Amino acid sequence: MKEKIFLCVNKTKETAIILSNMVMRSLKSAGYTVINDSKSADIVIGFGGDGTLLSWLIRNNYDTNYKYIGVHCGTVGFLQDFDVFDVKNFVDRIPDYVEEKLNLAEIVITLDNKVYSYNALNEFVIKRCDDKALRACVKIENVLLENYVGTGLIFSTPTGSTARNLSSGGSIVCPGIQSIQMNPIEPNRFLGALESSIIIPKEFTITIFSNTNDEVKVLADGEEVYTEKFDKICVSLSEKYLVKLVDKNTNFFERVSKKLI
């Protein structure tokens, strides 16, 4: 029996609406079941830009109990892999697409012995609520890295390295390198803050302590998830991952060249 498929469509994009209707008809002709309840789907096909998948994950609390196929209907983006020109060929090849695992990042915030945890596919951003300089002690595996002073810190996955991290001067990280990249936003180098990003292996945990006891805001994939003081913040690469289906001939470096150069 063929998989049950849910279509996640960016309704603000006419091309996404038209293409999704064409794909839906082709899926049904090929024997797939197109459903309206995503919770029972085997595959979710997203039509839009990168925000289509991110919005979907946020609305569904980062549920990863399905496989995702991204159809590109936006501008520059790395999460929507397929440019569909031949609908029947796209549908016929679904069984041949290969799995790519995208690890989520996890942030754990402790305040007065209460623990708050969140996931992100692309990145977390930490800033002060009043937008003044963030002052924080940053440790990696309990070893002091720096006493950071600057606008904020970005913590990105390899998937998110081409998103806000890149636009803030961070490095592109190849898929499959399991790591977290910490990228400073407008660091104050005169007070000893690192000016460049640092890529940290999955096995290590980054721990942040407040030097000023100020309220911070934490954004997960652009959504504000926490606004409060904190005692400790830990950031790491999660064991939780999203399975994305891609063409086996997809080449990351070709995509970088095509989309960014």
Residue 82 carries which DSSP code? B
Backbone CA torsion sign across 75, 9, 224, 207:
negative
Catalytic residue list contains 231: no
CB 91 within 8 A of CB 191: no
E strands present in 40-83: 43-48, 67-72
- Provide CB contacts within 8 A for 253, sequence distance 6+: none
Amino acid at 45: I
What are residue 231's phi and psi, to 5 degrees?
Answer: -90, -40
- Provide CB contacts within 8 A for 229, sequence distance 6+: 111, 210, 213, 214, 215, 216
Of residues 42, 50, 81, 231, which has the active-site annotation? 50
Alpha carbon distance, N-terminus to C-terminus of the chain: 43
Task: Catalogue the active-site residues.
Answer: 50
